[in-house]
Structures are given as C-alpha cells and as structure tokens.
Amino acid sequence: MLTPEQLESFKDNAYLILPGFVEAEQIASWHEQFWAHIDADAQDSTTWPDEYVIGDFSVSPRLGELPEMQVIVDQIGGGSFTGGGGSMLVQWPKSTRANWQMPEAGHIDGYGPGGWSGGFMLGATTYLEPVEEQGGGFVYWPKSHHGVHDFFHEFPDQLAGSFTERDDWEDRKWGMFSDRSPTDPVEFTGQAGDLILWHCFLCHTGSTNVRSRPRQAVFSRWHHADREEMKYDVPEDLWKYWAI
C-alpha cells in the first residue's frame, strides 16, 4: 500500500519512485529469462542484438502479476484498472559519451501504431540491472500531467490523436505537450528492481545509452476497465477515474 504522502507526491508530480520494489530474486529470474530468450551472453557484448522492442517475450510472472504491484494498482485504481503486461524495451549501448543529449520532447502513451486505444491510465517501469546517468534511462517531465490535461481541456476533440493533424504538429511534434511542463526532463536512474510508477499524462521518452551495460527495462501498462464508456471524457477533475 502507498502512504498518504506517497499518494500526494504521485498526484503532484505524475510519477512516484519506489526504490527496491521488486525483490532481487525476482529480478535475477527475469534477467535469466531475458538473456535466454534473446540467446545472448550478458557478459559478452559481441553476442548482443540491437532490438529495442523485445518481441514475443514477456517476463514471467508479469510485472502486473506481482502481488505487491496488484495491491498498489488496486489501491490507486479502486479495482478498475486492468492490463499489466510485462513487455521489455532495451536500450543497447550506442555511441561515445560526448554525443549524449537530453531528449528535447516527451510523448504520452496510448497513441501507438494501431491508433488510439483510449482509457490508458497508468504505467510502471523497472530495470533488470542498475542504470546510470546517460545509460539509456526512461526520461520524464515531472508535473507534465497538468499541461497535458489543460491541452485536452482546451481541445477535447483532439484526445483521440488528431493533434497530429494540427498545422503546428510538423514544427512542434510532442513538444506541443512537454513544452507545457513546468520542469526540465529527468532521467530515471537507479538500481535493479527500483520502480517508477507513472501517470498516463506524464510526458516521457527513451534516451540514448552511452554506458557499457544494456538498459533492460520491464514495462507494464494499465487501462480503465470501462474504457469504452469513459475514453472520450476529459474530466475537469484529473482524478475522476482514480481512487485517489
């Protein structure tokens, strides 16, 4: 369970970091599953592939199936959030350190190649190995949920993704959302098993890894069970479909 202080912090910032959330034994088991699946040697970079999206693979049990994860998701979603897959995204080491740059803009999820699904509520990310600065971490814009909420309040008919047809999209792209953020972007660095919980309107993106270890991230996402009924609604109260 999250404490009232943690809930307040999540609501204020659109993210919450829970250090050491996934047990070391669980992480070790997922790590083994991952390297076996890609058929590579974790210690030998000549055997490493370069795929960002690890297809046809999910850690077992999935992140969303861990009892400690379910408790939190039920707490903040009041039992109405569903999903919780266990897909992996890996940032393989790339170039030299001098080339590293903080990403300029961050997107919001729910607008994949299959179109807008609607009703996306929550994401969670953890790592299978420590991630240092410039190590390909998940980059996010603290407090960016308010600007995104304001945007859709102003243009509710663009919620389904038609913002990409605006005249200013070509110039601004996702900056249209993340430029509204009151904060600069931050890298999620930390130990294996640390978790970041993120609100659906948190602007975020991947980043380049110029360190030596691959950034091995496990992601889960949850949507609202009643998404067909609620997905076009842009409520005045950002927390209308939450239990917090």
Ligand X SMILES: O=C(O)CCC(=O)C(=O)O
Q: List the interface residues with Fe ion, window 19-58 (CB under 5 A).
A: none
Candidate residues 17, 42, 89, 160; the one interacting with ligand X per rule CB under 6 A: 89
- From the CB of 226, what's the least distance to ligand X, in Å? 23
Does position 219 interact with ligand X (CB under 6 A)? The reply is yes
Candidate residues 65, 109, 129, 132; the one interacting with Fe ion per rule CB under 5 A: 109
Q: And the tokens for 131? A: 């991630």
The rounded distance, in Å, linking the Cα atoms of 198 and 15 is 4
- From the CB of 3, what's the least distance to ligand X, in Å? 27
Q: How many CB atoms lie within 10 A of CB 87?
A: 17
The rounded distance, in Å, linking the Cα atoms of 54 and 57 is 6
Closest CB to ligand X among 156 and 164? Answer: 164
- From the CB of 167, what's the least distance to ligand X, in Å? 26
Q: Which stretch binds Fe ion (CB under 5 A): 17-25, 67-75, 104-112, 128-136?
A: 104-112
Does position 63 interact with ligand X (CB under 6 A)? The reply is no
Sign of CA dihedral 95, 205, 83, 65: positive
What are the angstrom distances between the C-alpha of 48 and each of 19, 22, 39, 41? 28, 25, 9, 7
- From the CB of 210, what's the least distance to Fe ion, in Å? 21
Does position 109 interact with ligand X (CB under 6 A)? The reply is yes
Q: How many CA atoms lie within 13 A of 179 on its CB side?
A: 7
Question: Per DSSP, what are the bridge partners of residue 219?
Answer: 87, 125
Closest CB to Fe ion among 35 and 185? Answer: 185
Does position 213 interact with ligand X (CB under 6 A)? The reply is no
Q: List the interface residues with ligand X, window 124-183 (CB under 6 A).
A: 138
Among candidate residues 141, 138, 172, 181, the one with its CA nearest the CA of residue 52: 138
- From the CB of 214, what's the least distance to ligand X, in Å? 12
Does position 205 interact with ligand X (CB under 6 A)? The reply is yes
Does position 231 interact with ligand X (CB under 6 A)? The reply is no
Q: Do the beta carbons of residue 15 and residue 138 sit within 8 Å? A: no
Among candidate residues 65, 66, 59, 61, the one with its CA nearest the CA of residue 38: 59
From ligand X, Fe ion, none, interface partner of 118 (C-beta below 5 to 8 A by class):
none
- From the CB of 109, what's the least distance to ligand X, in Å? 5
Closest CB to ligand X among 67 and 113? Answer: 113
What is the secondary structure of 65-124 as a DSSP string?
A: GSHHHHHHHHHHHTT-EEE---EEEEE---S-GGG----S--B-SSEETTEE---EEEEE
Residues lying near Fe ion in the complex (CB under 5 A) are found at 109
Residues lying near ligand X in the complex (CB under 6 A) are found at 89, 109, 138, 204-206, 217, 219
